[in-house]
Structure 1
Amino acid sequence: MISSRRTPGTSRRAHRAVTAARIIGVIALLATVLLPAALPQAAAGEPGAMPFLVVRVDSVSPDVVTTASGAAVTVTATVSNVGDRPVRDIVARLEQAPAVTSSAQLRTDLGGDTSQYSPVAPFITVTPELERGQEARFTLSYPLRSPTDPALGFTAPGVYPLLVNINGTPDYGAPARLDDARFLLPVAGLPPPAQAVDAVPGSGMDGVLAPDTSRPVQLTMIWPLADRPRLAPGVPGGSSPVRLMNDDLAGSLSPGGRLDTLLAAAEFATSPEVDPGGEVTRAMCLAVDPDLLVTVNAMTAGYVVSNSPDGLGTDSHPGTGQAAATGWLDRLRALAKRMCVAATPYAQADLDALSRVGDPGLSAFATQGATDLADQILGVTTTRGATLVGDGPLTDRVVDLLSAQGTGPGQTVAIAAADCTAQDSAGESPTADLTPRRVSPRVVTVPFDPTVGAALAGLGNDPGVPSYLDSSLDVPVHHDSAVARRQDAQGSMLWRGLHPETDPRSQILMPPMNWDLQPDDAQAVLTTLATTIHSGLAVPRPLPEVIADAAELAGQPKPPSATDATAQGRFDDAVIGQISDQVGRLWGLTAAMTTNEQTGLTGIAYTAPLREDMLRALSQALSPQARNGVAEQHLAVVGNTIDDLFHGVTIVNPGGSYTLATEHSPLPLALRNDLAVPIRVRLQVDAPPGMTVTDMGEQELPPGFLPLRVPIEVHFTQRVAVDVSLRTPDGLPLGEPVRLSVHSNAYGKVLFFITLCAAAVLVVLTGRRLWHRFRGEPDRADLDRPSPRRL
């Protein structure tokens, strides 16, 4: 029989269990109520810091609305769940903003506030739920004009910002706007509507609305062919084969590569079949980096690639791009014969940093010498008189550098970014002033719109923001899809042409030098260029015409507003000082070099690659964040090579001592030259007192060894130390000084007089004896001697 009576201990244990169960229940209830509030929520309004959904635009049709387009615009997009929880009730709608009225709005409408956007139509359901990592595709399509249906409602040509708005409800959150995607839709003309609408002023009988072409823009397009420096630093001229830091350039030159895509697009757009009237050809000008030409030309003869990951090591293996380099360079030479070609500064060197270096020879080569080099390799005469300032601003130092090049007013036209911010002093959204102006008696600047340049820089595989762009105009280009960025570029290119009231009526389209375009991007840009010209919105303006008109610009010079380079991408003073020191030593050494008659190699050509390395260290081709670090690494290698050149000319140390037999015995020496060219040297002998050294003057030391006999005169008899060193004619020390141990057997003037007196006494005594013998008288010196025996 089991008793039902509970002991006191059992009762207490049961009570504790019941209490624990109640506590757990309370905790669970509190978690149910409070946990959603504790977890991050998606608040209504703008997307939060923690992304849940990301939307990307996959296609826009048509990408440019013209009078021949369809009556509707279709946007295809994809939404992806990138958060840490499911999202339900995902909806989307298309919104639009008024047409852009200033160039600053080409950027500001693509970022920040969304108050300027209004819905085109109500939300549509994309998907009831999207789990983590899932995505859903949807389409938004609306007519351009409609009296009844939801429509975009365009009433005039222009550039219209559009926005794809995505809302949803994340787990533990409320319905909210989770992401948006913005892009520009250029409307170069309106086709007839699908349904009857009220007549638009200026439209034709069929409802077609054409753009105003009464004031076309004079348009110039710079088409860049450039690359980041690839040649390994610290290799003097005459070295064969050349060494590259990596073999990436081989892939870029091969079919489908970056440089092949750029060249192929220019070839196609300017071919007689596609451009029979030559309008696009006249509007375009190839901007070629001479450093790229030097590298590709060297690759055609065979090359090697460094084995080290940083490309600075000497161990190497054969490169694979010889055939690709040959084919690409031949195509470029053929294209250069039928269109404008201009050279960039060598290796896209930062001209402001180069001005801080303060070496006229290096500056002259980076600008004028680079153009001569391009002529030599391409076999054409490139366009003179224009300097592409590149990624940085036009500062007063850049103007001073360009003013020192050549003579005469209007010698150089600096193509640089205009000043533009999100708001002017009155709080209005400004348009970049593209009016040419003289900034010095010899320099005229022809600005380009930085907002358009930034839109072009956003294209392709590596979108970026140029350093010259004001931070107030920055937009998150990496958030946008390639299609959205392409729409922004096309809209920016067309904006000025669609606004005939905007002055001046001229524009230069300036992409980044290291443009990394997909074939679709290149096609879209050149198609937009052709559309702008063929529709009458623009007329081609060749670059030589830009230069000629700028040279005639009169007026009092007005210095540039930018007094210093921006902090972003600015080269450190340590880099500038290192280059200043290295280039000064290198010029001094080069001045002493002559020509190798056997190989034809000159001193200038022998040291030229090292000066080019210094320009490559100042290249704007690298990202602003990496420039200083890479420059320091490369300059360290170049500095070591320059030290090796100075130590390559030296005196051979005999390692023993010299013994001079007489006071006029010459001092034998051997000089060694490990350089590939002869060099003029002067011998400096630090002789002790009592030793006179004849100055041998300048000596031309050929590669190899050269024995010398230095005339000296010694007036003592002892062992002494003689210091001998080599210097250039200008006094730069070469190699290491050598200390020679010299032992002289010469007794000097005292021994000479003693010997002379002894000889005189000997002559006197000998003469005296002969005199006495001649007279038959005995010599007094013989009186103490015994008489000889008689036989």
Structure 2
Amino acid sequence: MSGPLAALSAVIAALLLVLGAAGAPPAAAGEPDSTPFVRIRVDRVTPEVVTTSSVSVVTVAGTVRNVGDRPVRDVMVRLEGAGAVVSSAGLRTNLTGTNDQYRPVGTFTTVAEELQRGQEARFTLSAPLRSANQPALNVDRPGIYPLLVNVNGTPDYGEPARLDDARFLLPVTGLPKTGSESEPLAGAVAPDISHPVRLTMLWPLADRPRLTPGAPGGTLPVRLADDDLASSLAPGGRLDALLSAAEFATSPAVDGGGVVNRSLCLAIDPDLLVTVNAMTGGYMVADSPEGATSHPGTGQAAATTWLERLRRLANHTCVAASPYAQADLDTLARVGDPGLDATAVSRPADIVDRILRVTSTRGAVLLGDGRLTSGAADLIGAQGDAVVIAGGDCAAQDSGTGASATADLTPRRVSPQLVVAPYDPAVGAALAAMGTDPVAPTYLDGSLATRLHHDSALARRQNALGSMLWRALESPESPDTPRDEILMPPAYWKPRADDAQAVLTTLGTALRSGLAVPRSLTAVIDEARGFTDPLVHPLPAEQAVGGFGPEIVAGITGDIARLWGLTAALTTDVRTGLTGEAYTAPLAEDMLRALSQSEPPDVRNGLAAQRLGIVGNTVADLIGAVTIVNPAGSYTLATEHSPLPLALRNDLAVPIRVRLYVDAPPGMTVADVGELELPPGYLPLRVPVEVRVNQRFAVDVALQTPGGLALGESARLSVHSNAYGMVLFLITVTAAAVLTVLTARRLWHRFRGQPDRADLDGPLPPRPDHPHPPAAAGTPLDRSEDR
């Protein structure tokens, strides 16, 4: 090809190149989040926690996967490190955002010449902790060190660029000794244990609400919305893993000195215990959200075994109750119902004690999610003096100095009744991110958010372990100030089995190495109550994230008032022993389940509305189940004092106290039958009435509780009376008077020996002074006297 043809081809090629470049996506930017071409994942870190007895080389292994829409060439990775974290906010900010604080450790290593779409390549990087002759992490003292694996590549239609990175924290509790023929000898560096942190860890056992809504007490077998809890309780499940880790960590063989057992306290959601305890007797599982049909559950044996294991553990380990169903106390405060408040805050400890057969630790309110607001504080304070364990305040930067901030964990009094013992939100968020379903607690400031779903499960575990140890490894600002820390994962915590074990292993390592000393929950409560702070610290007015809408508050407010009105009238069924309070308690608990913070914030309102709709219908059905039976609707009263016959019906499982209200028209008086106890079933009733008119009229009859709650539907009766009123009374009196006169007349004649006309069948005989009257013609005369 030459001459004009070659020139034409060159022009066409140039045009195609220009058009191709114009149609191509933009080239990769310097930050990896701009265009997702590849995703890097850290799968293994050795050692996970560096100690004086560890190897002196850190090895990181992982995978690079092409997640974009085009091939990527020259895929390379490099390990980078940063200085030790100097603030609790740095535990979060080093895991996201810019990477200016990181410095390279060695050069890039090519892991693939080209990665097609969906392909992946594995890598392994190693670097010494410290070295004078080769690239190293330059770790010179114990602390928490951020590490980063950087991946570069060249996407099609693009230029070489940094495409992604993976970040995690490396806890270094001590430096191992190093040295070789080519390396100067360096001795081990132990941590400073002269000022140990007083450590308390709350170990949550909770779940999402599983019981289907709208079932009153005594409904057997119970019904669950799904059977996921059976898998969670079975060997290998989430709740089994949490319980197994606590059993192992506190066993005498592992915790010989009992330091973990003195530091650990089980934070148990009573709703979980109620559900598991019900499962032990057999249960059903709804086939659909509507729950029209169901099938037997499969977790009865697993529930029985798990509950017995928990009882054994609770006999020698601290136990405390969390708010019922992890209800949002701020929303509950807006509802403003004291009975529901007590069910959420005060009564959970009684439920835990009854089911586990222990005496739980009282006096603490455990908030694993959500901020403590002023409304929630008022609610808790109305239940009595308490210590609230809640997330503290921390942001990426101190508002005054602009420096990276550290959470203040000093107890603070927020009201005369309440003292807050805060935990570090950065540490709590790191624990919440563990497992296969990471979450960010709603108490976390937005400036401390990280890429939860970008990081691998192992990287998130590294971050949690590093966050747990950070305060113990940092030098105290004042040697004379005691350092306290509370470790509080969210109530509905979902770590994997190895995650849960790693957390308690790290806790034990910190306690046994002298970095920390155990501090029981009882000690936290006692010391906080003795905290004399003259200042009352302000609280936020509302939840910033994850709150419930006004329609949810309005729904609960209306339904709970009607439910308590019904409950106040219920009594105990002597046949079954079921009390009125036990009969309606599941419905009140359903309202708390609707406010559960175990659900993701973006779906909470929808799920709450769905549950409350069912509960509201059930409350209405229970109120309507006590009614007046009116089969005929028309009655005729034989006299003015004939009773009005009625029949009352109670379809509830317990007796109920009722009052009958009759709207009597003029001319009718109804006697008050007083307060009636209506047992389950039918009760015939005859209501005394007095009618003074003879007519047909309508009578409205209704039932109410003694407190005034209307029950069922009112009945309208058509009543006809044969009474004559005053006219009948006068006639009766007149007839009685005439009868009296006639009787007196007869007696008068008899006393005088005179016959009375009423005693004779024929005409009266003539008197002696009168001659006989002439006989009628043809009538014979009686001559008996002449004979």
TM-score by length of structure 1 reads 0.92
| CA distance, structure 2, for counterparts of residue 660 and residue 325 of structure 1 | 62
* Structural mapping, 1:55-94, within 5 Å: 55-94=40-79
1:269 aligns to 2:249 (yes or no): yes
Structure 1 counterpart SS, 2:728:
helix
CA 1:112–1:765 in 2, change beyond 3 Å: closer, same or farther?
Answer: same
| Counterparts in 2 of 1:432 and 1:766: CA distance versus 1, 3 Å | closer
Distance 1:747 1:163, change over 3 A: same
Alignment partners' CA distance in 1, 2:778 and 2:722: 45
2:286 aligned with 1:301: no
Determine if contact 1:441/1:557 at 8 Å carries over to the other structure: no
Partner of 1:241: 221
Kindly indicate whether the alpha-carbon contact (under 8 Å) linking 1:89 and 1:125 is maintained by their aligned counterparts in 2. yes
C-alpha distance in 2 between matches for 1:219 and 1:787: 140
Q: Which amino acid aligns with 1:259?
A: L
Check conservation: 2:28, 2:35, Cα contact below 8 A: no
In the TM superposition, residue 619 of structure 1 has moved relative to its aligned partner by 0.7
Unaligned runs of 5+ in 2: 758-763, 768-772, 782-787
The alpha carbon displacement at 1:787 in A equals 9.9
- Pair 1:584-2:561 in alignment: yes
Query: 1:760 Cα deviation (Å)?
Result: 3.5
1:618-697 alignment, distance < 5 Å: 618-697=595-674
| SS of residue matched to 1:55 | strand
Separation of aligned partners in 2, 1:118 and 1:608: 60
Alpha-carbon distance, 1:32 to partner: 2.1
Q: Amino acid of the residue matched to residue 158 of structure 1?
A: G
Q: Among residues 722, 725, 740, which one is paired with 1:745 in the alignment?
A: 722
1:152 shift after superposition: 1.0
User: Does 2:470 correspond to 1:490?
Assistant: no
Does structure 1 residue 363 correspond to structure 2 residue 341? yes
| Match of residue 542, structure 1, among 507, 511, 520 | 520
Match of 2:235 among 221, 246, 255: 255
Matches for 1:402-413 after TM superposition, within 5 Å: 402-406=380-384, 411-413=385-387
Tell me which residue corresponds to 1:108.
Answer: 93
Q: CA RMSD in A?
A: 2.3
The Cα offsets for residues 335-357 of structure 1, whole Å up to 9 and x where unpaired, read as 00011011001111111111111
Contact 2:179 2:186 in 1 (8 A): no
Counterparts of 1:790 and 1:125, CA distance in 2: 161
* Residue 395 (structure 1) aligned to one of 343, 358, 373: 373
Residues 25, 543 of structure 1: alpha-carbon distance in 2 compared, 3 angstrom cutoff:
same
Contact 1:435/1:504 (CA < 8 Å) preserved in 2? no
Instruction: Write the letter of the residue equivalent to 2:581.
Output: I
- Deviation, 1:743, is 0.8
- Distance in structure 2 (CA, Å) of the matches to 1:33 and 1:588: 78
Distance 1:773 1:403, change over 3 A: same
Q: Does 2:166 correspond to 1:189?
A: no
Residues 379-778 of structure 1 mapped to structure 2, 5 A cutoff: 379-406=357-384, 411-425=385-399, 426-502=401-477, 505-566=483-544, 568-761=545-738, 764=741, 773-774=755-756, 776=764
Closer, same or farther: CA 20–631 of 1 in aligned 2, 3 Å: farther
Distance in structure 2 (CA, Å) of the matches to 1:42 and 1:533: 51
Q: Which residue of 1 aligns with 2:83?
A: 98
2:16 paired residue among 10, 20, 31: 31
Specify the SS of the correspondent of 1:619: coil
Q: Aligned partners of 1:198, 1:209: CA distance in 2, in Å?
A: 17
Report how far residue 773 of structure 1 moved: 4.7
Amino acid at match of 1:442: Q
Query: Is the contact between residue 146 and residue 196 of structure 1 (CA under 8 Å) also seen in structure 2?
Result: no
C-alpha contact (below 8 Å) 2:52/2:177 kept by paired residues: yes
CA distance in 1, matches of 2:624, 2:421: 48
Is residue 196–residue 472 contact of structure 2 (8 Å, CA) maintained in 1? Answer: yes
| CA separation of 1:744 and 1:173: change in aligned 2, threshold 3 A | same
Moved more, 468-477 or 654-663: 654-663
Gap runs ≥5 in structure 1: 1-18, 200-204
Shift of 1:786: 8.7
Contact 2:698 2:717 in 1 (8 A): yes
Cα 1:135–1:677 change in 2 (3 A) is same
Q: Say which SS state the counterpart of residue 106 (structure 2) adopts.
A: coil
- CA distance in 2: counterparts of 1:753 and 1:79, whole angstroms: 110
Alpha-carbon offset, residue 764 of structure 1: 4.8
Q: Deviations over 1:406-463 (max 9, x none)?
A: 3xxxx31100000001112221111000001111111110000000001001100110
Q: Secondary structure at the match of 1:273?
A: coil
The amino acid that maps onto 2:231 is G
Deviations 1:707-742 (A, max 9, x none): 111111111111111111101111111110001111
Q: What amino acid is aligned across from residue 275 of structure 2 in structure 1?
A: T
Give the alignment of 1:336-375 within 5 angstroms: 336-375=314-353
Contact 2:205/2:267 (<8 A) preserved: yes
Distance 1:172 1:787, change over 3 A: farther
196 and 45 in structure 1: CA distance in 2 versus 1, 3 angstrom threshold: farther
Bigger mean CA deviation after superposition, 105-114 or 149-158: 149-158
* Structure 1 position 48, deviation (Å): 4.8
* Identity between Structure 1 and Structure 2 (%): 64
Q: CA deviation at 1:533?
A: 1.1
Tell me which moved more, 31-40 or 762-771.
762-771
Say which SS state the counterpart of residue 122 (structure 1) adopts. strand
- For the residue of structure 2 that corresponds to 1:119, the secondary structure is strand
The structural deviation recorded for 1:560 is 3.5
Aligned residues: 757
Matching of residues 40-189 of structure 1 within 5 Å: 40-189=25-174
Distance 1:154 1:481 in 2: 24
Q: Deviations along 1:176-217, whole A, 9 cap, x unmatched?
A: 000000001111111111348999xxxxx9611111111100
CA distance in 2, matches of 1:656, 1:161: 83
SS at match of 1:479: coil
The Cα offsets for residues 458-509 of structure 1, whole Å up to 9 and x where unpaired, read as 1001101110000011011100011111110111011000012246511001
* CA distance in 2: counterparts of 1:266 and 1:305, whole angstroms: 30
